[in-house]
Structure 1
Amino acid sequence: MKEQLLDLAKKRRSIYALGRNVEQSQDDIANLIKEDIKWAPTPFNNQTTRAVILFNENHEKLWDIVAKRLKSEVPTEAAYQKTLEKINGFKAAFGTVLFYTDEEIVHRFENDFALYADNFADWSEQAQGNAQFAVWTSLAENGIGANLQHYNPLIDDQVKEAFNIPDSWKLRAQLDFGSIEAPAGDKDFIEDSERFRVLK
């Protein structure tokens, strides 16, 4: 069996020690991310996934927004300082991909294909997973580490205003990426017998 894809998937890990020592240009990385998302499968080829790719001061602005927004959510100053340390780790990365779903397209397909209307929201989430995995794995193939965060919906309004996001786009995840300054830890798995059934 050929296992090239599996080998790449094994390289895709949550890397939290990220830096800016990236060999590739911003344009090359942005083009790679765009192509990954274009070719990730979507139901009915409805292409509901959107992305905003942030570099430089825009990348830093995002994580400043997160830090400021969480100030009112964290119960103590000591806890906030720990949160801030974590967020500054994301800010130290080279860039961030904001993943969105265009709900206007989702609703259009709900109307146009009424028989499947109850499924399109779920299917758009599956499309998100496909796109996020494709981008994350593709970055890993190029020696770029990443980790996926979900500060939505807490930051949605502030991010929408800061980056002029369309009303129909719903924020689903934030993938910060950069040079790998320290490797991921070991990965544990549950027993195959608890997870899989092979019926012959």
Structure 2
Amino acid sequence: MTMDTSVRDHFLAAVRQRRSFYGISDEAVVPDERIEEIIKEAVKHTPSSFNSQSARIVLLLKQEHKKFWNITTETLRKIVADPEQFKATQEKMNAFAAGYGTVLFFEDQTVIEGLQQQFASYKDNFPKWSAHSSGMHQFVVWTALETEGFGASLQHYNPLVDEEVKRTWGLPDSWSLIAQMPFGKPVAQPGEKTFKPLEERIKIFK
């Protein structure tokens, strides 16, 4: 099946425009139902090795979103004892909490362990392939949210917050937290993006 040219162009345009937005607000950009639809489409259609479908996502909106960043803030405060040194961290946490929502990306280790037992010759590869699939889920959700008018960034405060997150939202122990994506209405432009020469990054043989 040949894809329509306009669809291809739209996809690549979305890829080009995806950026890291750190200045975000909690103003609604689209209805919550649309955000939920994006998450469901991403989980259903993003590929995974052996069609394992090991990705798990938790969508936190509004006050639940702020609760996550409060947990992260207090966790980090216990590590950085000096209040002066913690100021920069506090500002960063406040910036994330100012958004509308956060997407938590997990991988279900029960699925991965099951594949390791079923296909022992690939045992060492399944955790790597799981990470690949999670990265694709992150990219799909990130790009889709930005096409709706949100700004987002990808954060990694795991494993520091893992246990508290599982307790707070009643998540299975087998869910391993991979990344966190705060998003909201952009209130500041992203920084300049630079590119290394493509000639150094791509080789083509015909």
Q: Considering the TM-score relative to the shorter chain, is it more than 0.5?
A: yes
Alpha-carbon deviation of 1:74? 2.3
The 5 A counterparts of 1:36-185 are 36-74=42-80, 76-185=82-191
Distance 1:60 1:78 in 2: 23
Distance 2:34 2:147 in 1: 14
Distance 1:196 1:149 in 2: 28
Distance 1:23 1:130 in 2: 24
Distance 1:28 1:4 in 2: 19
Distance 1:133 1:106 in 2: 21
Alpha-carbon deviation of 1:21? 2.0
Runs (4 or more) in structure 1 with deviation over 6 Å come to: none
Over the aligned positions, Cα root-mean-square deviation in angstroms equals 1.3
Query: How many residues are matched?
Result: 200
Distance 2:129 2:83 in 1: 40
Distance 1:111 1:139 in 2: 36
Note if 1:15 corresponds to 2:38.
no
Structure 1 residues 135-163: Cα deviation after superposition (integer angstroms, max 9, x where no partner): 00001111111011000001111111111
TM-score scaled by structure 2? 0.93
Distance 2:22 2:195 in 1: 20
Confirm or deny: 8 A CA contact 1:146 1:177 kept in the other structure.
yes
**Structure 2: unaligned runs, 5 residues or longer:** none
Confirm or deny: 8 A CA contact 2:112 2:130 kept in the other structure.
yes
SS at match of 1:3: helix
SS at match of 2:143: helix
Alpha-carbon deviation of 1:78? 1.6
Confirm or deny: 8 A CA contact 2:69 2:96 kept in the other structure.
yes
SS at match of 2:183: strand
Alpha-carbon deviation of 1:97? 0.6
TM-score scaled by structure 1? 0.95
Distance 1:45 1:118 in 2: 17
Distance 1:10 1:142 in 2: 15
Alpha-carbon deviation of 1:75? 5.3
Q: Which amino acid aligns with 1:73?
A: I
Which has the higher mean CA deviation after the structures are superposed, 66-75 or 8-17? 66-75
SS at match of 1:143: coil
Task: Tell me: CA distance 1:199–1:183, structure 2 relative to 1, closer, same or farther (3 Å).
Answer: same
Confirm or deny: 8 A CA contact 1:37 1:134 kept in the other structure.
no
Structure 1 residues 94-130: Cα deviation after superposition (integer angstroms, max 9, x where no partner): 0001100000000001111122111110000000011
Q: Which amino acid aligns with 1:77?
A: P
**Structure 1: unaligned runs, 5 residues or longer:** none
Alpha-carbon deviation of 1:4? 2.5
Percent pairwise identity: 40
